[in-house]
A and B are shown apart, each in its own frame.
Chain A
Amino acid sequence: MPSYTDIIAKKGEITAKALGFDYTRYEQGGLAFDYEGMMSNTGYTLDDIRRIQLETGVGATPLLELRNITRLARKLAGRGKGARIFIKDEAANPSGSFKARRAAISVYHAQQHGFAGVVAATSGNYGAAVASQAAMRGLKAIIVQEVYDSKSQGQPEILEKGRACEAYGAEVLQLTVGPELFAVFLQVLESTGYFNASLYTPYGIAGIETLGLEVVEGVRQQTGRDPDAVVITHAGGGNVTGTARGMKKAGALATLVIGASVDLAGLHMASDHDFNRKSFTTGHTGFAVPFTTWPDRADVPRNAARSLRYLDRFGTVTQGEVFYATEMLAQLEGLERGPAGNISLAAAFALAQEMDHDQVIVVQETEYTGAGKHPNAQLAFAREQGIVVRSGDPVDNVPGKTIVIPSNPRQLRYKEVPLDGLRHSYLRNALEQKKGQALTPREVEFLCEDSKLTPEAVLEGQRERE
């Protein structure tokens, strides 16, 4: 294989060919580009997307009211508090997660444009989604996964996701830990000429807009009002971006968009040592923080997932709290789901208790569970890695060292992460790219659109850097 730097140097050329999407049309000099222009030029309207998704059984998933969990939240909350909690049962999609929405448009587009196959770099449910959609549309699929540490020990959840891909007939290229996955992915694209079914193209994000639309429509139908808050498990930013865009298109302009991630602070995502010391492989801060504060680290020239444009609030929960929420959903509501969707459930359970009882909060996704994904599988694996698992107060969680499962439901908390801090980190990352050059007026405007900072804050950031 050519060296890492040689392959990465050809990134632009390889991805442009493998997408048939001309990103240069939207460039506006330096950091700036026309985001809305790019998003509206996929060639598919929201109605088209709904139709394409329904062709392969994607979407129109049930919106379920979690009556027992709501009752529990109300019992713990003060008088008059405790919003109604709903959950969008995205596990009902063909490959068992909302990622089918994301894959549906990419695979359709690849089929329409005569590609023989699709490639995706993902260790998550997206792999199975691409493989499943490709199976339906008669295309080949190759999924490139990061699965093993250097001792050939596979993360159980990713092993399961790989198994699912193979079940749908995909080739699964499995790698050990490291960012070089991207180089291997580029090489597969180049050697096969297949379509780049990246998670971060306008097609991928447009596919999630139907989820936001359905959430709003479903809540209106069942309660006669718009949702007051929608909690979205946040990692690379696509889930937040697509859902929020769909909600806006449905006219739900006052609904709060709340991102939730598992707190994995202190664990390095590229570390061979840390890799198997986490019990969540997505929906965690290891993706959410870097992608929120610099979206253009993705496998496309311009990332269509730009979460700072849409987030109203962002918060974290601990691994132990999500395992608790997973058990709560199964035992009180009869829904065995997880793990990633239950990150927003854990957050929503805490947030509902701050809200009035006539308000509505929605957990925006579930996913299928199974061997490797199940809390028992993850906790047994964590113990094998030397991690302490015990009951207690989850404030004592230390990522990579201790998992504390709440000993009672009062201990589930949502920890607010001030967005202003993330906006300023974004600005620092942007200014880093400029290497001391002054921002153009259009760049200042773009950074304000992309981070929701004021022009004064952007210019102040620039002055501080000088």
Chain B
Amino acid sequence: MKSEVGHLVEISWVALGATERAAHLPESSKVVPVIARVKGFAQSSVPLGADLSVRTFAGRLLTGTLIDVAPCHTHSFGRPQPELLIIGPLLREELR
């Protein structure tokens, strides 16, 4: 997969390395870097994993590693939950 000039992509970069982080962090955070991600319009055509500059929605020019092309929102409504499905009928019964 490659970026196309002017098309929406997502880049990421290390905002702070693990050793540059704030003091007094919990163990699980201490050992990992702070990663930043942003979407924007590709300024050049490069393969996934290559460095790329993008123009963000606010018009800023930011540079990072190309991680996605035409990034898609995949968060959903989730599968139905049995513990919730019983609530409505039970409450209506209570009110009857």
Interface of chain A residues 210 through 257 with chain B (CB within 8 A): none
Q: A459: CB under 8 A from chain B?
A: no
Q: Are B32 and A176 in contact (CB under 8 A)?
A: yes
| B80 proximity list for chain A (CB < 8 A) | 376
| B86 proximity list for chain A (CB < 8 A) | 391, 407
Interface size of A as a range = 35 or more
Tell me the smallest distance from the CB of B86 to a CB of chain A, in Å: 7
| A163-B75, A272-B32, A380-B79 given; A324·B22 CB < 8 A | no
Q: Are A268 and B26 in contact (CB under 8 A)?
A: yes
The distance in angstroms between the C-alpha atoms of A170 and B38, with both chains bound, is: 11
Q: Are B83 and A180 in contact (CB under 8 A)?
A: no
The distance in angstroms between the C-alpha atoms of A183 and B88, with both chains bound, is: 46
Tell me the smallest distance from the CB of B35 to a CB of chain A, in Å: 5
Q: A379: CB under 8 A from chain B?
A: yes
Q: Are B57 and A171 in contact (CB under 8 A)?
A: yes
Q: Are B32 and A159 in contact (CB under 8 A)?
A: no
Q: Are B36 and A174 in contact (CB under 8 A)?
A: yes
| A46 proximity list for chain B (CB < 8 A) | none
| A68 proximity list for chain B (CB < 8 A) | 95
Q: Are B22 and A179 in contact (CB under 8 A)?
A: yes
Nearest CB in chain B to that of A376: its residue: B78
Most buried by A among B20, B25, B35, B37: B37
Interface of chain A residues 371 through 400 with chain B (CB within 8 A): 371-372, 374-381, 389-391
Nearest CB in chain A to that of B40: its residue: A171
Task: In the complex, identify which listed stretch (A82-90, A140-148, A417-425) lies at the interface while the others stay far away.
Answer: A140-148
Task: In the complex, identify which listed stretch (A281-289, A304-312, A325-333) lies at the interface while the others stay far away.
Answer: A325-333
Q: Are A375 and B84 in contact (CB under 8 A)?
A: yes
The distance in angstroms between the C-alpha atoms of A147 and B34, with both chains bound, is: 11
Tell me the smallest distance from the CB of B36 to a CB of chain A, in Å: 5
Q: A154: CB under 8 A from chain B?
A: yes
The distance in angstroms between the C-alpha atoms of A370 and B77, with both chains bound, is: 7
| A117-B58, A178-B25, A184-B15 given; A71·B78 CB < 8 A | no
The distance in angstroms between the C-alpha atoms of A68 and B91, with both chains bound, is: 10
Q: Are B94 and A180 in contact (CB under 8 A)?
A: no
- Chosen A-B contacts, 26 in total, with CB atoms closer than 8 Å, are A1-B16, A71-B95, A75-B95, A142-B58, A160-B75, A163-B75, A166-B57, A173-B38, A176-B32, A177-B29, A179-B25, A180-B15, A183-B22, A192-B58, A271-B26, A272-B26, A324-B87, A332-B88, A332-B92, A372-B76, A376-B81, A377-B76, A378-B78, A379-B78, A380-B79, A405-B84
